[in-house]
Each structure stands twice: as C-alpha cells, then as structure tokens.
Amino acid sequence: MRTKIFVLIILLVTLFNPGRILIYFFLPVILYFMLLDSGLFRFILKRQFLFFVFILLLLQPLLTGSKEFSIFSINFSLDTFYNGLLMILRSLIIISSISCLLINSDKRKIQNLFNKIGINNFDKMFSYSVELLPLMKKELKKFAAFNKKKIFLNPIEVTAQFIALLLVSSKNLIHKTRGGGFYDE
Amino acid sequence: MESNTGNNEIAVTALFGTLWGTVELSLGTLIHSLKIPFSGTILAFIAIIIISISRSFINYKGSTLAISSIAAVLKLIILPGFNINPFLAIVVEGIIGEIVYLVLSYNLFASITAGSLILIYTLIHSLIMQGVFFGPAIYKVYINLIDNLGMAFNFKYHFAYIIIPLIISIYMLLGSLAGWLGWKIAKRTKDILEEEFV
C-alpha cells in the first residue's frame, strides 16, 4: 500500500512539474522502479516507443528550432534536442509508474465498478457472456472460414445472417438458465 | 435499469457484448501481433458496426454502455497483464454511442453520427495518451513537423491546417460508413428473423 501511494505521488509530481526539474528527479525515480520491478521498462524496446525516440531526439532537432550546433557538418538544434530528451524522460517515468500501479491492481475490483456506476444487471450479463465466449469464438472462426470471399462481395447479407444465427441461439441461452440445455430447441 | 430490463434483453446485451469482446480478443490480438498499422481504427470500425446493430435490438437506456463494459472487462480479464489503454478506449466508445443514441434515439442519422464521433475519438485517444505520456509539447512537435513537411513541398502557409482537418474528415467519413453499415445490417437481420418466423 505504501509503495502504491509513493508511486502515485511520483506520477502526480511528474505530470504537473515544470519540465526541467525532471533532470534531477529522473535518476532516483528510475533506480527506485528498477528495484521494484525491472520488467516495468520492457516498453522501451517496443517499436512504437522507439518511433517517438526517433522523432523527438533525431528528426525534430534536425528540422525545427534554430540550428546552433553542428556535428559532421550536420546542423541541428540543441535546444530542441534537450526538449525532446525531457519529453522522453517524462514518458519513461509516467509509463513505468502507471504500469507499476496497474500490475498491483485487482482486475475484479474494476469489474465491480460497473455495478456501482449503475449497470445493475452487469454481473448477470457478464456471467452470460463468460458462458457464451467459447461458443462465440467457435462461431466467429467458422464464420470467418466459410465467408472469406463472400464477406467482401456482400458484407451486409453475410453479417446479417451471422447476427440472426447468434440472436436465435441467444434464446437458447435463456432457456439454459431456466434449467434447459444450451442447444435445446 | 433492473426493473426495465427483461431476461431476453439481458441475454441479447450479453450476446453483443461477447461478440465485441471476442472480436477484440481474436482479431485485436491478431492485428497487434502482425503489427498491422491503424489497428485501433480497424477495431473501432467493427465496434461501431456492433454498436449500431445492437442498438436496433436492445434499445433500452444504458444498453450500449453495458455491451461496451462487457467487452472491456472480457478483454481485461482474459488477456495477460493489465493493459488499461484498450480498456479505456472500449468504455469511452460505449459512452459516446450511448450519449448519441440517448439524444437522437435509434435511426440512421444517429448511427452515422455515433459512428463518426466514435472514430474521431479513436484518433483523439492516442493523441490524448501521447499528451499525457510526453507532455502537451508533443502537439507542437507534430505541428512543426507537418509544417516542415509542407515547406519541403514549397507550401507557404501552415501545412498542418490542411492535413489535420483532412485526417479528421477521413475519419468522420469512415465512421459514418461503419454506422451506415451497422444500420443496414440490423435492418437486414430483422428481415431474416421475420422471414424465419413467418
């Protein structure tokens, strides 16, 4: 619990602090997260994150800002590079702290949340869907396999037939809850 | 809601929620693993169709929010780890659909409006998350980069002012198409069911 509160404070401070303070704040926070769970930083190898690193640290300094710095006769803006670096540091802290908070969260609590916000029959609906899920997966697979070409030629008709089939079988689901079998007609 | 919702409506709500959840689990996982671009847009397109169809069969207050909640929780519980991003996106898509259908009630115009708003949201969703992760300065970076691209094509004015509305219009058009498709499919499904029982 104490860790959660501490991580939450780190997250809020990073979200609302002026960018340049991050430079001093960054190292101890990252060390702390590494001690908690080194797996929190797996996202830095993801293509999406590397794309942002490329834009913020390479492309942006080359294209925008006053180019006061030169290396190998390539001019780039040091100020823009520095801003990009701060943004990357900010994202490192924010993404890892959100991951840290979520890893320690209970998924069932979120499920209960929907009951609290006013979807009164949520538990009943959800138990139906858990029962329906294997059937749905099977039907969807069959549907995709049988209608590979047809779906592009006449998507409305093919999908309508599938939905009609599902709606008819959903009536059997109610029947089942009243004591009958799922496929009883 | 409990008093107004019958057993049949609960089952149909569960059915559409499960359908959306299954699409997210199977197709979503496949698209992400194949690293197909615009995966969020593809999934949102299908979600709009499901929302539009479902509203035609279960038109009670809160039905769209209920199916989105089921799909979101299914995805959250079944997939390993705790990925809040898709969870949040599904719930917000449901909220947008619910508001539109509550205000406009179920018709073709409402389906098209809901579709375009939901698809615009998917565009904004990633931008909002990027703003949270990298800070609001990321938007300035985008505008500068787009303007620089315009300069490369000898375009004198702010290129971003043309590109951004163009992207939004494309998303609105795609969303409208999904809404229309959902509405048409729902109509045809009703015809098929009637034919079957007559």
pLDDT digits (tens, 9 = 90+) for A25-77: 788 888 888 888 877 888 888 888 898 999 888 888 888 777 777 777 777 88
At B167, is the secondary structure helix, strand, or coil? helix
Task: Residue B19: name the closest of B61, B51, B65 by CA.
Answer: B51
Q: Chain A, 137-176: which have a CB under 8 Å from a chain B CB?
A: 137, 140-141, 155-157, 159-161, 163-164, 166-168, 170-171, 173-174
**Helix (H), strand (E), coil (C) string for chain A:** CHHHHHHHHHHHHHHHCCHHHHHHHHHHHHHHHHHHCHHHHHHHHCHHHHHHHHHHHHHHHHHCCCCCEEECCEEECHHHHHHHHHHHHHHHHHHHHHHHHHHCCCHHHHHHHHHHCCCCCHHHHHHHHHHHHHHHHHHHHHHHHHCCCHHHHCHHHHHHHHHHHHHHHHHHHHHHHCCCCCCCC
- Nearest residue in chain A measured CA to CA from B13: A125
The model carries a pTM of: 0.80
- Nearest residue in chain A measured CA to CA from B35: A47
* Segment (H or E) for B144: helix B137-152
Cα dihedral sign for A81, A87, A89, A95?
A: negative
CB distance from A121 to chain B under 8 Å? yes
User: CB count, 10 Å around CB of B155?
Assistant: 12
Confidence of residue B100 (pLDDT cuts 50, 70, 90): very high
At B83, is the secondary structure helix, strand, or coil? coil
Q: Does residue A182 surpass a pLDDT of 50?
A: no
CB distance from B14 to chain A under 8 Å? yes
The span from the CA of B49 to the CA of B33, in Å, is 23
Mark yes or no for CB contact A88/B134 under 8 Å: yes
CB distance from B172 to chain A under 8 Å? no
Confidence of residue A18 (pLDDT cuts 50, 70, 90): low
pLDDT the model gives residue A20: 67
- Nearest residue in chain B measured CA to CA from A104: B82
Average pLDDT in the A86-105 region? 84
Gyration radius from chain A CA atoms: 26
Mark yes or no for CB contact B65/A47 under 8 Å: no
pLDDT the model gives residue B5: 60
Q: What ipTM was predicted for this assembly?
A: 0.82
Proportion of chain B above pLDDT 90, given as a percent: 40
Which residues from B are below 8 Å from A132, CB to CB?
14-15, 18
User: CB count, 10 Å around CB of B195?
Assistant: 9
Mark yes or no for CB contact A95/B133 under 8 Å: yes
Backbone angles phi, psi at A76, to 5 degrees: -150, 160
Mark yes or no for CB contact A160/B185 under 8 Å: yes
pLDDT tens, residue by residue, B38-87: 888 999 999 999 999 999 998 888 889 999 999 988 888 887 666 778 88
Smallest Cα distance from B149 to chain A, Å: 9
**What mean pLDDT is reported for chain B?**
86
The residues near A153 (Cβ < 8 Å, ≥ 6 apart) are none
Mark yes or no for CB contact A60/B144 under 8 Å: yes
Q: Chain A, 93-112: which have a CB under 8 Å from a chain B CB?
A: 94-95, 98, 102-103, 105, 107, 110-111
Question: What's at A162, amino acid-wise?
Answer: F
Cα B114 from chain centroid?
A: 9
Find out whether B181 and B49 touch, Cβ atoms under 8 Å: yes
Mark yes or no for CB contact A83/B137 under 8 Å: yes
CB distance from B57 to chain A under 8 Å? yes
Burial group, residue B48, by CB count within 10 angstroms (0-12, 13-18, 19+): buried
Proportion of chain A above pLDDT 70, given as a percent: 84
Mark yes or no for CB contact B65/A15 under 8 Å: no
The span from the CA of B138 to the CA of A87, in Å, is 8
Backbone angles phi, psi at B37, to 5 degrees: -70, 160
DSSP state of B106: S
Backbone angles phi, psi at B6, to 5 degrees: -85, 175
Size of interface A-B (CB pairs under 8 A): 161
Tokens of B9: 């409506």
Q: Chain A, 7-36: which have a CB under 8 Å from a chain B CB?
A: 15, 19
pLDDT the model gives residue B71: 92
Mark yes or no for CB contact A128/B137 under 8 Å: no
